[in-house]
Every structure is written in structure tokens, then in C-alpha cells.
A and B are shown apart, each in its own frame.
Chain A
Amino acid sequence: MSVLSLSAQNRTIKGKVVDETGEPLPGTTVVAGRNYAVTDIEGRFTLTAKTGDEVTVSCMGYDDFVFTVTNDSDTVSVSMVPSAATMLDEAVSIGYGKTTKKELTGSVASLKSDDMDLGSFTNAGGMLQGKVAGLTVVNPDGGDPNASYQFLLRGTNTLAAGQGPLIIIDGVVDADLRNINFQEVESMDVLKDGSAAAIYGTRGTNGVIIITTKRAKSGTTSVQYDGQVSVQAVQSRAVPMTAEEFEYTIKNYAPGKAGSLYGYDTDWFKEITRTPISHKHSVAVSGGTEAFSHRTVLNLEKNQGLQIGNEASKYLIKTNIRQTAIEGWLDVEYNLSYVKRQSTPANYGAFRQAFTRNPTEPVYDPSDTADGGYFTLTESDYSNPVAMINERYANNETSNLLANVRATLNILPIEGLKWDNFLSYNDEKYFSQEYKTSFYPGSVGKKGVAYSSGNAYDNLQWESTLQYSRVFGGHSIQGVLGYTWQEQMSWSTNMENYGFDSDFYKANNMGAGTALKEGLADMYTNRSSSRYIAFFGRAIWNYKEKYLASVSLRRDGSSRFGKNHKWGWFPAASVGWRISEEPWMKDLQWLSELKLRAGFGVTGNQDFSNYKSLMLMSTSTSFYYNGEWINSYAPASNANPELRWERKSEFNVGMDFSFFEGRLGGNLDYYYRLTTDLLYEYNVPVPPYDYKTLFTNVGSISNTGIELTLYATPVKTRDFVWNTSLVAAHNGNKLIRFTNEEFQNQDYEIGWIATPVGAYVQRLIEGESLGSFYAPIWDSVGSDGSDVLKNEFMGKVPTAKWSRIGSAYPDVTLGWSNNLKYGAFTLSATLRASIGGKVFNSYRANYESLHQIGLRNILSSWLDNTAYTGEIRYSSKYIEDATYLKLDNVSLSYDLPFHNKYIHGGKVFIAGQNLLCISGYKGVDPEVSLTGLTPGIESTSYYPRTMTLSLGATLNF
């Protein structure tokens, strides 16, 4: 009966929604509990609700309007108020706390889920590509479903330590992007400058990326489904000669090599590739009350790679629970996630073999049973790529369990004071098996080779902070005092055996191989741990949101440092002045925001391996002693009690501006960062040292740059909105020095490219940028078909006469994002460009030469210049301009209009990624790895670039 009486109270509400000028607002959502309505073109809606229900009316660009249903609410009229400069009030994570954009004094870029492109990403890192000024995100492994992104923030600040930013996911420091679902990302905040990152001390130099994923919210239980299917097609690859071109070239230009013509026509690339299809699904269930809410997401991904057999899958379950207890004194939040990742890694060598493989050879030769029926020619580094794919079994599995709890004690008697404790445990296990059958090229005769390796990683983190925030008399203060303790432990194992009676076992019965018994198998285990402890504090103050200041100090310690330098101080200070808040600026109607910022901060880099400061011994060679072989022991490293972090000081000035009520705005930043105490491995004399190299702090590097972010809404009508944003950055890198009186390393020639090129292509020169290419200058092709180089002497250009060709780093990087909204349709497009910078074209250098043809194939592009018949000579000809413009993403989405008892709208989309690359570069892709000491060198071991087309849907229940 009660059900009946309840339904009897349901009433039908009719209403109209208008904007501040009285014009109707179509497409506005009106929600009451599970009931839902959307306004039509005249702004009208009809909604069923009960007396006492709260109805929320929301429309993008306007403040939400909430009213309670009364007995008189049969017809309502809602007038929406445009939200005032909402962007400035957006919350920004700054590490151990949040602030708002307008109160920010450091250089922090903040991305919300709306700013991110639709499509398919191997992990959430890809969504930052082209979105943050000064942050370069590169995927050097193209279409590999197991590829990870590389990050480079504000230039290269190290020689030998890591360059990856510190990743913090929902409070877990040093987290792995692969363990979350990219669709779950709610926001990403990038702490760029020293004043912002200094709160992370010795781990702040490469920037900090703070990722917040979707979490529990109170409300009625809702179910969301997200799914997508994508296909890929080759966008660019290294193109060898076809069988026809190969035959033509040999007959006309290298008749002496006619013996290499086997009469078949094989497209080796086609033989090892396919059209990859991938799909991803996730279901999220959430809901609850203010006192108890939860969110659980299930995620399944199956991704195929271009190479036959190459796959990556992911299964994820994650639960977030939030609870409030003891009359508001205690807030507790639990996170539990389990991720299983499975993959068959690509065989990169097979792509190179498919390139060099003679196209006139057949794939199979059934008569050659010794080689498994594959057509085989025994030559070193010359393998049948089809056999490499078919005769290899590989399976990698990673499982990751993350459990954490955050308990916040609200000390209610003192307003704004709370004590927050966060305890997190992460347990990751990796297991890999690989088996090369008795017919795997290069292993024939070994009777099957099996590999098995494992890895376990534990990360235990405890953080305790005391936080206080208060506003009084125009003053707003926010303070934090904290302690953090983190221990990371890793184990690894590795086994290899061969000599199996049958390929049946694969790597599942490794003991059956004979090599172990003959003493030829390999076995390895390792364990290491590190501990990290810090004390920190920060105070943020502002007066009437006009004068802003922030100071922080961190005392940071790491077990990795030498015993004389276990602890370091990392101070930072920044100030801001919102000129637009001054009374004398209030008259400027067109100016919404003008803020000047300046900051200074010290950060460190401790991203190097454990135990580098200790003198350790390891088993060395075996020795025949008293009639038996025994182990000898030798030093494996020198003691370096002075070993410490790389120290970066950074000065940043910036300006935030916004005009015409936020229709146009942006940020401009200038920075100077100086990294001293750079780590590098130096040759040292033995004696007096124990070991021949010493890892120690010597050099310094500077990076100077300008970053500009502009955002605008050029068109905004009731049913059409165009939002656009542009990021641009320039960075200048300079290696100030990397030697001193004591440590004179002469290995300044780096970037060795093996024969037939046989040259060091880059140099470390004090006073120049890192990544500087050096080469003899190419002049012309001589009458004998050989390359003529400038400054030749006796057929050689002495290395002292080589010229600096340029640096691998671009002069300017640009990203341009557009979002056009028309009614329920949204069209987005993201372009990215890089101007300047050089890239070494390895495929041309190695394979665009008539000399290399014969047994092996060469680049088809040799036919464009048949006058060049000489031997490969390293020169400036192979160092090309890396300028490019890429169309990263185009997507069209449509907000579903169904709203009924079961379905509460949703979205369908189609997205194309990596669609176009405009560049003068003749190689595969001018966008190559920019991290490490030898950036800008395209590898011959590569994965082709693919474009991706995805179809996706989101449904809310």
C-alpha cells in the first residue's frame, strides 16, 4: 500500500529554462533523483517528481540551479545565471593539498577530463601529449600495444639519472600509469617549476604529475558503461624495395650480385603483419550517501598489435569507498585495485629482418626440414622473419595489487585543522616466459631455448600530515606539516636453458633441457631495496585573493645517497599579485584576470640505482685452485660517501591573464633552471680506486625557456561553441660542464652507430646543448658515385674537422586543441608540431646504399638517386630536420538523447588518432626518443607507426 501512496504523490512538473536575457536554453538537463529530462529548443521540459524532491537544473557555462518540489510546483520557470569566471575557481592539486587556479603562485598545468582527447591510449600518459606547454610526450614505439610514453619536462636536466617525472596517482607516490584505466582519469595536474615541485624534494626535478581518478560520490546508484572498438592501419614504416625493384636494381646497377636473385616475390612486411583490432570495456557502479559512498569499476581491454601474435590485454577491478564516522570527526577512504596485464611482446628484430630480407626469396622451403621448412640462408644477422614470429612463444604477465587507506581526523574544535594519515601498499608481480623452438632462426642446433624470468616489487608508503586552513579578516592561510616514509623492495629472477627433446614443453619444463646439466645454462636472482624519508612543511597565504605567497621547506633523505650526504634541504618560495583585483583596475571591464607570479625552488633527482655509494664485491671469474674450479671475488663498485642527488635551482616568472569574461586567456612563463652536481660515470685510476669507474656528482646543465598557453572561446552562441587552446614552448639547453680537475672523462664522443656507418654521431661539448650532432659536411655525389665530403684529407675527414649540425632538441613545440560543440554534437581536433631539431635517419644511413644490396634488401628510396653508388660514409646527409606537424586526434561525439527510467543518456563517438604527419623527414617518423644522453637517433629496431580509428559508446544507467 505504501508503494501506491508514494506513487500517488508523483506529480508532473512542466517548466521552461531561460538564460540571463530571457532567451530559452535548449539542451539543459533537469534531474530529480532517478528522473531525468532535457529541455527542447524552446527551453521547455516535462519531469516527473515527488513533493520534497530536489531538482537540479544544469547547463554548461551556467551555475547549477536547484529547487525543491512543493505542492505548487506544477509549472516552474528557471532563469539561469552564467557562471562567473569558473575556470579561475577550478581546484588544482599541488601536492599535499589543493588550491585554486586564481590562488596559484607556481607554474602548474591542470587538465580536466573534458580537456582530454577521445580515443585509444596505451596508458593515460598519452592524454598529456600536446596539452601542456613545456611537457614533451613521445611514444617512440609507435603502434606497439605495449608501448609506454616518454616524458621530457623543460629540457634535459641530467646526464645519467632518470628523466621521468614523479607520477602520483591518488596519493600513491611513484605509481605506474599502466595500472589505471585511462578513461578513469578525472584530472591531471603537472607541477612544472621548482617552487611548485620543491615539496617533493629529491624527486621533483623532472616535474610531478598528480593524477586523480574518479572516486566515490554520494547519490543514487548509477551504472556507467564505456566501450570502444578500434582498428589500426600502417601510417609510416621503412619501405624496402619490392621484388620487382630489387631485381631491376641488381640487373641494372649490380649485375655481379645476380646470384642473389631467387625468383620469388615476397612482401615480407605483409607476411608478418595484420590489421589489428582492439576493444575495451568498462563498467562502473557508484552511489551512496554522504556518510558512505562507493565506486567500483571493472575494466577489460584486449589490444592487438600490428605484428602477428603481438597482443596486450588488461583486466582491472578497482573499488573506492568513502566513509564518515564519529560525528564528522573521521573521514576514511579505502582504495583497492587489482590489475592483471597480459601480453605477447612484439619481436622488434622481425621488423628489421623483414626490411632487410631479400624479397626474391620464398618464405618456405618444404624440402629444408632441418630448418623447419622455412627458406633459410645461413648468414649472421639474417633470419627469416616469418620463422621468427611462428617459432617463438612469449607470454608476459603482470599482476598488481594496490591497497590503501586514508584516515583524516577532523579536529573539529579548531576550525580548519585536520590530521591526515595515508598508508598504501602496492605489490606487483611480473612473470615472463619465452620459448624459441628448435627451428627458431639463429638457435637451430640448440634444440629449443627457454627463458623464464620474474620480478616482484613492493612499495610501502606512509604519509602523515597536519593540515590547517582558515580565512579571517581578508587573510586566507593554508598550512601543512608532514612526514613521509617509503620503502621499495624488488626481487628478480632469470633462467635460461636449452637442449630440449621436444618443443612440446615450451618454457614450462625448463629442467628438461640438457644445457643445465652440461653447465651451460644460466641462472640469476637479485634483490634490492631503498628507503626514502622526508619531513616537510608549507605555508600559503593570501590577502583578499590579491596578494599571494607560498613558502615550503623539505628535509629529504634517501638510502641511495652516500653516508656523508644522506639528507638535504629543499626550500621554495613564490609570490603572486593579482593586479586585476586592485581597485584602480576594476574599471577595465574587458580585463577579467591579470596576475603576476614569481617563484624560486630547489629540487633534486635521485633516480639512479640502489647501492651506488657502496663498495661491494661480487663473484667474479672462476679459478682453478687446488684441483677444482672456485669463484673469485672482485670489487663491483667503488665506495662514494659523497654521492648525493643532482641539485636543481629554478627561477620562474609568469603571468596569468584572462579577458572578456574568460573568452580569451592564457599563461606566460619564463624559467631558468640550473642543475648542478650532475651524476656521471667517470673513469678513475685503479689503484688507488677499487673499481675502474666512479659514479659521482660533477657537472652542471642549464635550461632556459618560455612557455605560452592561450585559450579562447572565439564563438559562443546558444547552440554553437568553439573552444580552442594553444600551447607553445621553447627551451634552450646548455651543458655547462661535465668535468673538473679530478674527473676528466674524455669519452665526449657518444651515440655510436655500428657498421656500416661506424661513427659516433653526437658529442658532449661544454657550452653546447646536449644532443648535439657532429658530422663531416656532405658536399655532393662525385663522378665515381661516391659521396664527396668537405675538408677531406687522404680520403678521410678527421674528426676534429667535423661540424656541429645542430641539436636533437626542437626550438619550439606547439599543441593546438579545438573543441566545437553544436547541440549534442562535439567535434574535437588536436594538432601538434615541433619546429627545429635534428634527427639521425638510421634507415637511410644503413640501407640507402647500393653497396648493401645483394643478399639483403635496401631502401626503395635509393632509386630516387641512382647516381649515388659509393660506400656508406657518415656525413651530414643523414642528419635531417625533424620539423613536423601532426594531426594527433580528430573525434566526433554525440550526446545520446534517450532519457528514461533506465537510461540516463550517454555518448557515442568516433575518433581517429595519429592521422597525418607532415614533415620533410625521409625516415619513418621524425618524432623519436628525446630522452637519454643521445636523443634524436631513430633506431633501426622499431615498430611501425599506425593510425587508429575507434568507435566508442558511453551509456549511463
Chain B
Amino acid sequence: MKKALSTILGVVLLAACTNLDEQIYSKISKENFFTTEEQFVKYSARAYSSLQHWGTEKSLWTFVIQNTNEVCVPVNPNGGWWDDGRYNEVHVHSISSSNRLLEMAWEYCFNGITACNDVLDMFESVEKDFDAKNRVVAEVKVLRAYYYLCAIDNWGSVPYSVSKKDKNLPEKKDRAFMFKFIEDEITGNIDYLQTDPTPDYYGRITRGTANAILAKLYLNAEKWTGTAKWKEAEEVCNEIITSGKYRLADHYKDNFCVNNENSPEQILAIPYSTVYTTSDHNAFIIYMSTLPADLCTPFGINAQAWDGLCGEPDFLASYDPADTRKKDTWLFGQMYDKDGNPIEYSDGVPYIIDPDMPESVYGKDARRDALQGARIGKWTYQSDGRLTGGQVGMDNDFFLIRYADVVLMYVEALVRQGKTSQAAEVADFKSIRRRAGLEPMTAAELTLDNLYWERAHELAIEGWSRQDMIRFDKFLDAWWAKPAKDASDLILPIPKTAIAANPNLK
């Protein structure tokens, strides 16, 4: 007995004397986290929150608007925003594979895909079933399809991975393969999704969202695979329109105001908050990127903004004088403070921004003047003092897809099939024009060129212009400081960092 006791004591002591397990206190391991159904549902938020990267200073969104005819970034009067030419490269289409903006655009897509894969893997490994499982899985799969759509839109062939369990480095797949994958993922899961976009589904994938993503896919099918799918695009748009779940907001600005979550037009929103989304990977901070520092205080913003992004002068000049969307999208002309009083630039000099800039202000050694270049003003700047610079993001939510876009896609699908007169009669299309202070287009006016500009003005700087310009054969043309390019320009280079991490992408 004594011997046994001492043996046991010896073993226990020896184990304690050699125990090197790490004690974790301030982070959590998977095993400790997934204990209740609620934790699983919460975990899927990770897939959604990847969308918040969209509104940051360097994201797919800011990449696209600078890569098209909408936004340019001349060096500001203080010499800022040259940064080794990274903004310039994006605008004049000579992007190096080590461009930081390009890397961040890539990360938006692939961090999103990884997050979705991770969530799906996790769900698969869960023993217990729960009521919401099929729906949440379907949401994440459609969300992943959206990220892949963004990826093939910009990079053509992309690394394909649907699970982390495969430890091999992902292989590159071409657009045709990915197109089929995205289509199957959406059509295979759409029936599990929430049909009614009730407020508790705000910011999540619903049936309407899935159809809208499918519409984007079909609309670009000809450019991406060589096979047009106008008919399919028409059908999915029609389903959204006839579902009656969405309608145009009364005012254009209802989609962009601080409390825009009440707009009936949103189909997929990214909710933002001055409190909850305040870091460099999730804050909506367009006010910091575009506003000059001296407009902040009059606007009720407690920040030293960076004075960078400007409206591209030719784009500003392309609006119909009667189009109210110009002033609803851009800041130019006389500036007014939050109470509506005109602002002075200096003693006796009014603060009047000239949207026109010669191309000569562009380049490393050039500078624009302080009062040159329209600024982005589409999302109303809150003047309650809660915007305090740094990474404190705005409260306005961002509508990735809204009903007006679907209406215009529907019109385009009809026009592409030669059903121009039917298109001209679409009631919501007429409403979009009237809401902008313009007359509805007649069938004769409804040319592809006019339709392009209608989309450009309605959806300006909302992040879809790159694929629109490509689809309407505008992307390779010269505009302002950007020279004409050949077809190789339609595909972006894969970032150097991504190739370094995965040699299959060479």
C-alpha cells in the first residue's frame, strides 16, 4: 500500500514537474467558444463583417472608383497623396503588382472568401443541428459567391478554394469554371433564404440579394465567358421587381443620408457605425479621404481630414445641367457650413470649389490648388461632432446593391435583347429619371451609350463602374489623365504578396 501510494505520488509529481501546457486567458480557443447554438450563429457574423472593409481608405471600393473615370487623386497643395505613385498608378492604369491599393482590393475578396470557408467548415464540424442551420449556411454560401464574383470581375482567373480542410495551396481556375460555380451556388441555395427583407434581416443575404447578385453575374456573362445571358438577367431582375419587396426611395438622398437604414431601396447594406466600426479594416471614412482639413470644422467634423480624393473633371462635366444627382453626389461651387451659411476660404475670399482641373495638375511634381477638384459628397456628412478623425467611421450605411441598380440592369437586359420600347416603358425606370429632375427616356433615346451614362450618374461612386465601363466598352478609352489601353488592361495583375504566399498564382 505504501509503495503504491508513493508510486502514485511520484507519477503525479513528475507530471506536474514536466507539464508545459499553455494556459490561455485573453483569447479563446475554438473548443471553448462553440458551446451553444447562439455562438455558432454569431460566428457567421465573421463572414458578413468582412464586408465592412469596403468603406475603408484602401479597399476594393476605393480601388474601383479610382480605377475608373469617377475619381482621381492629384497631389494636394501640401504635397500629400503621392505616396510613391500608388494612387496615380491606379488611375492611369499602370498598376504594379506591389501596389498597396491593389493588395487591399484583393484582400477584400479573399479575406471574405476565407471567412466564409472558415464559417462553413466550422458548421460542418458541428455535431448538433439547429433550426437556423440551413438558412445560415445558404447565406454564407451566397455571400461567398458574391466575393468570388468580385474576384473574377477584376482578376479573371482566381484561386479556388471552398474549404480550409484542403491543405494544398489553391489552384487558379478560369472565369468559365468560376462562373458556373457562382451560378450553382446561388441557384442551389436560394430557396433556403429569407424571402421577406424584414428589418431583422437588414444587412444580410436574402432571396432578393441572391437574385441581384445573380443578375450581376448574368449581365456580365458575355464579357466573362463569351456567352451572353441577357434573358437570364432579365428574368432574375423581373423576379425582384415583381416580388414587391422593394421600391424606389422618394428622394435620391434617402439612400445616402446618415440614417439611411430606413430606405426601401436597399437590397444589400453594409451597416456602419461611429461606435462599432472604427478601425482601419472596417470603418467607412470617405470623409477623411476626400475633405480638405479646413472644411471639417464648418461641417461639424472634429478632424483634420486628408484632402485626397477628387471628382474626375470630365466626369463632373458629363452631367445634364438639370440632373440633380450631380449636386447630390459631389461637393463643388460655394461651400456652406452645417447651418447653411456660406464659408470663406480666407478673409474676403469665398470658399468656392472649381470642379475643373487641367490634366497638368496630375503627376508627381504637380500640385492642384486648394480650391480645385470636386469632393465626394454623396453620403451626407453628419454634423453632430461624432466624427473625430482617425479611424472613426461614419454612421451612414453603404448600399452595395439597391433597387435602382436592379431596375437599370433590367432595362439594360431588355435593351441588349432589342426590347427597347418595352424597356422605355418600365415604370420604375421613368421614376429614376424623374427623381433626378430629368424627363424619362424615349425608346429612341435609349441607346447603349445613353444607358451607360444613366447608370454612371445614378450609381456614381457606388463601386460598380469598373464592370459597367467594361461591359459598355468604355474602359479602354482615354479619359482625362488616363491614356487609351489595350485589352490586357481588362484584367488586374495579381498582387505580388499573394503570389509570394501561393506560388500557384504565378
B45 touches A557 (CB 8 A): no
Can you name the residue of chain A whose Cβ is closest to the Cβ of B202?
Answer: A624
Docked Cα-Cα span, A629 to B159, in Å, equals: 33
Identify which of A446, A611, A692 contacts B22 (C-beta below 8 A): A611
B30 touches A629 (CB 8 A): no
Identify which of B48, B164, B271, B274 contacts A687 (C-beta below 8 A): B164
B29 touches A684 (CB 8 A): no
- Given A611-B22, A625-B203, A636-B27, A687 contacting B501 (CB threshold 8 A): no
Identify which of B23, B118, B203 contacts A635 (C-beta below 8 A): B118
Beta-carbon contacts under 8 Å, B27-70 to A: 27-30, 33, 42-43, 45-46, 48-49, 52
Stretch at the interface among A119-127, A519-527, A842-850: A519-527
CB neighbours of B48 from chain A (8 A): 623, 625, 632
A527 touches B26 (CB 8 A): yes
Q: How far is the CB of B205 from chain A (nearest CB, A)?
A: 12
The reply to whether the CB of B497 lies closer than 8 angstroms to some CB of chain A is: yes
CB neighbours of B472 from chain A (8 A): none
- Given A530-B22, A687-B117, A622 contacting B276 (CB threshold 8 A): yes
Stretch at the interface among A62-70, A315-323, A613-621: A613-621
The reply to whether the CB of A737 lies closer than 8 angstroms to some CB of chain B is: no
CB neighbours of B79 from chain A (8 A): 756
Docked Cα-Cα span, A633 to B44, in Å, equals: 9
Docked Cα-Cα span, A446 to B392, in Å, equals: 14
Beta-carbon contacts of B160-171 to A below 8 Å, as 1s and 0s?
A: 010111111110
The reply to whether the CB of A755 lies closer than 8 angstroms to some CB of chain B is: yes
B159 touches A685 (CB 8 A): yes
Beta-carbon contacts under 8 Å, A852-900 to B: none
Docked Cα-Cα span, A627 to B115, in Å, equals: 22
Chain B interface secondary structure, helix, strand, loop or mixed? loop
Identify which of B49, B166, B202, B273 contacts A688 (C-beta below 8 A): B166
CB neighbours of A629 from chain B (8 A): 273, 275-276
CB neighbours of B113 from chain A (8 A): 687
The reply to whether the CB of B19 lies closer than 8 angstroms to some CB of chain A is: yes
CB neighbours of A617 from chain B (8 A): 27-30, 33
The reply to whether the CB of A686 lies closer than 8 angstroms to some CB of chain B is: yes
Q: How far is the CB of A710 from chain B (nearest CB, A)?
A: 46
A687 touches B161 (CB 8 A): yes
Beyond contacts A518-B386, A635-B118, A745-B500: 7 other A-B pairs, Cβ-Cβ < 8 A, are: A380-B304, A519-B275, A559-B21, A616-B24, A623-B203, A627-B199, A687-B166
A684 touches B501 (CB 8 A): yes
B276 touches A611 (CB 8 A): no
The reply to whether the CB of A566 lies closer than 8 angstroms to some CB of chain B is: yes
Docked Cα-Cα span, A683 to B502, in Å, equals: 9
A624 touches B203 (CB 8 A): yes
Stretch at the interface among B277-285, B407-415, B436-444, B461-469: B277-285
Identify which of B42, B84, B281, B500 contacts A633 (C-beta below 8 A): B42
Docked Cα-Cα span, A614 to B28, in Å, equals: 10
B170 touches A618 (CB 8 A): no
B45 touches A685 (CB 8 A): no
The reply to whether the CB of A445 lies closer than 8 angstroms to some CB of chain B is: yes
Q: How far is the CB of B26 from chain A (nearest CB, A)?
A: 5
A520 touches B388 (CB 8 A): yes
Docked Cα-Cα span, A634 to B43, in Å, equals: 8
A525 touches B167 (CB 8 A): no
Beta-carbon contacts of A734-760 to B below 8 Å, as 1s and 0s?
A: 000000000011110000000110100
A758 touches B84 (CB 8 A): yes
A616 touches B18 (CB 8 A): no
Can you name the residue of chain A whose Cβ is closest to the Cβ of B21?
Answer: A559
- Given A621-B49, A744-B500, A746-B496, A557 contacting B18 (CB threshold 8 A): yes
Identify which of A446, A618, A630, A683 contacts B45 (C-beta below 8 A): A630
Can you name the residue of chain B whose Cβ is closest to the Cβ of A532?
Answer: B20
A615 touches B281 (CB 8 A): no
Can you name the residue of chain B whose Cβ is closest to the Cβ of A380?
Answer: B304
Q: How far is the CB of B262 from chain A (nearest CB, A)?
A: 13
B45 touches A632 (CB 8 A): yes
CB neighbours of A566 from chain B (8 A): 20
Top 7 nearest A-B pairs (CB, nearest first) are: A624-B271, A622-B276, A519-B275, A632-B45, A527-B25, A621-B49, A623-B45
Some 17 contacts from A to B, beta carbons below 8 A apart, are: A378-B304, A446-B302, A483-B17, A529-B23, A531-B19, A557-B18, A566-B20, A616-B28, A617-B28, A620-B46, A621-B281, A622-B273, A624-B271, A625-B45, A631-B45, A687-B164, A755-B82
B202 touches A615 (CB 8 A): no
The reply to whether the CB of A47 lies closer than 8 angstroms to some CB of chain B is: no
Docked Cα-Cα span, A200 to B254, in Å, equals: 68
- Given A520-B275, A533-B17, A621-B277, A528 contacting B25 (CB threshold 8 A): yes
The reply to whether the CB of A554 lies closer than 8 angstroms to some CB of chain B is: no
Docked Cα-Cα span, A686 to B170, in Å, equals: 9
Docked Cα-Cα span, A613 to B498, in Å, equals: 23
The reply to whether the CB of A367 lies closer than 8 angstroms to some CB of chain B is: no
CB neighbours of B388 from chain A (8 A): 446, 520
The reply to whether the CB of A610 lies closer than 8 angstroms to some CB of chain B is: yes
CB neighbours of A184 from chain B (8 A): none
The reply to whether the CB of A148 lies closer than 8 angstroms to some CB of chain B is: no
The reply to whether the CB of A589 lies closer than 8 angstroms to some CB of chain B is: no
Q: How far is the CB of A254 from chain B (nearest CB, A)?
A: 15
Chain A interface secondary structure, helix, strand, loop or mixed? loop
B26 touches A528 (CB 8 A): yes
The reply to whether the CB of B226 lies closer than 8 angstroms to some CB of chain A is: no
CB neighbours of B26 from chain A (8 A): 525-528
Identify which of A611, A614, A633 contacts B46 (C-beta below 8 A): A633
CB neighbours of A635 from chain B (8 A): 118
Docked Cα-Cα span, A559 to B19, in Å, equals: 8
Can you name the residue of chain B whose Cβ is closest to the Cβ of A682?
Answer: B501
Docked Cα-Cα span, A611 to B29, in Å, equals: 11
B503 touches A744 (CB 8 A): yes
Beta-carbon contacts under 8 Å, B160-203 to A: 161, 163-170, 199-200, 202-203
The reply to whether the CB of A560 lies closer than 8 angstroms to some CB of chain B is: yes
CB neighbours of B273 from chain A (8 A): 622, 624, 629
Docked Cα-Cα span, A627 to B500, in Å, equals: 41
The reply to whether the CB of B110 lies closer than 8 angstroms to some CB of chain A is: yes
- Given A483-B17, A618-B28, A688-B167, A683 contacting B23 (CB threshold 8 A): no
Beta-carbon contacts of A530-552 to B below 8 Å, as 1s and 0s?
A: 11010000000000000000000
CB neighbours of A530 from chain B (8 A): 22
Docked Cα-Cα span, A443 to B265, in Å, equals: 40
CB neighbours of B386 from chain A (8 A): 518, 520
Q: How far is the CB of A531 from chain B (nearest CB, A)?
A: 6
The reply to whether the CB of A503 lies closer than 8 angstroms to some CB of chain B is: no
CB neighbours of B19 from chain A (8 A): 531, 533
The reply to whether the CB of A558 lies closer than 8 angstroms to some CB of chain B is: yes
Q: How far is the CB of A76 from chain B (nearest CB, A)?
A: 60
CB neighbours of B276 from chain A (8 A): 519, 621-622, 624, 629
Docked Cα-Cα span, A780 to B26, in Å, equals: 56
The reply to whether the CB of B126 lies closer than 8 angstroms to some CB of chain A is: no
Docked Cα-Cα span, A747 to B502, in Å, equals: 14
Q: How far is the CB of A627 from chain B (nearest CB, A)?
A: 5
- Given A621-B277, A632-B49, A685-B170, A614 contacting B302 (CB threshold 8 A): no
The reply to whether the CB of A252 lies closer than 8 angstroms to some CB of chain B is: no
Interface centre among B159, B166, B497 (most CB of A within 10 A): B497
CB neighbours of B52 from chain A (8 A): 621, 623
The reply to whether the CB of B111 lies closer than 8 angstroms to some CB of chain A is: yes
CB neighbours of B27 from chain A (8 A): 611, 616-618, 636
CB neighbours of A616 from chain B (8 A): 24, 27-29
CB neighbours of B169 from chain A (8 A): 685, 688
The reply to whether the CB of A957 lies closer than 8 angstroms to some CB of chain B is: no
B501 touches A683 (CB 8 A): yes
CB neighbours of B167 from chain A (8 A): 688
Docked Cα-Cα span, A918 to B272, in Å, equals: 59
A626 touches B164 (CB 8 A): no
Q: How far is the CB of B402 from chain A (nearest CB, A)?
A: 17
Can you name the residue of chain A whose Cβ is closest to the Cβ of B283?
Answer: A621
